Structures are given as structure tokens and as C-alpha cells.
Amino acid sequence: MKLVIAIVQDDDASNLIGKLNKESFRVTKLATTGGFLRAGNTTLLVGVEEEKVDRVIEIIKKLCESRKQVITSTTPVTGTTGVYVPYPVEISVGGATIFVVDVDRFEKI
């Protein structure tokens, strides 16, 4: 058995869970926060048989969009101390970040 850990954007989570459930995958949804943007995202835990991992990833790929986001970065002005100039930087937030890990033991009690 494998555990698929997928970090997705909040906007995509509901659709994705719906589709996974429709195909009989069981999902746990965690409300998480990205360490870089410090903004909310969603982490899904999906325990599946190894041969179904590809299907889970296929569904995630289909439903999770990559979006551009503009953040304000600051950099010190050269030659001066303590002066910072804010400037916009465009970053692309996935899609999805997916980890697939082995499950040593799985029990339901």
C-alpha cells in the first residue's frame, strides 16, 4: 500500500475530493499553511493500493491548476543600511506537490 500526500490549492480541493470519492478513493483533508507564502493550502492524504497510485495522480493533474501569484519582496538598497524597497515578484504556485510514500502497515480497527 502507498500513501499519496498531495498539497493543493484551497480553490481546487473541493472538486478534487469530490472526484476522488466518486472513484471510491478515501481521502483525508488537512488544512495546512505553506511555509513560503504563509497562506492556506490543503493537504490530502490518500491511502491506495500501489496499482492505483497512477490513477490518483492522473486525477490530481487534471483538476489542479497552476496559478500565478504576485508577492511583494523586499531587498536592501545597495550601500545603505536599513532601507528596503518593496517590489512585486510573480511566482507560479502549483498545480500540486505530490509525495508518494510506502505504508509499512495499514489497519482499520
- The position carrying cell 502497515 is 105
Closest distance to ligand 2BA from the beta carbon of 89 (Å)? 9
- Inter-residue contact 69 to 93 (CB < 8 Å): yes
Site string (57-96) toward ligand 2BA, x via CB under 6 A: ----------------------------------xxxxx-
31 belongs to the binding site for ligand 2BA (CB under 6 A): no
CA–CA separation, 9 and 41 (whole Å): 5
For the CB of residue 47, give the shortest distance to ligand 2BA in the complex, in Å.
19
Pick one of 7, 48, 56, 59: the residue that binds ligand 2BA (CB under 6 A).
7
Residue 97: exposure state from Cβ atoms within 10 A (0-12, 13-18, ≥19): middle
| 105 exposure class (CB count in 10 Å sphere: 0-12, 13-18, 19+) | exposed
Closer to ligand 2BA by CB, 39 or 83: give it: 39
CA-to-CA distance for 9 and 29, rounded, in angstroms?
12
CB of 85 to ligand 2BA, least distance (A): 18
Please report, as ranges, the residues that interact with ligand 2BA according to CB under 6 A.
Answer: 7, 34-37, 39, 41, 91-95, 97
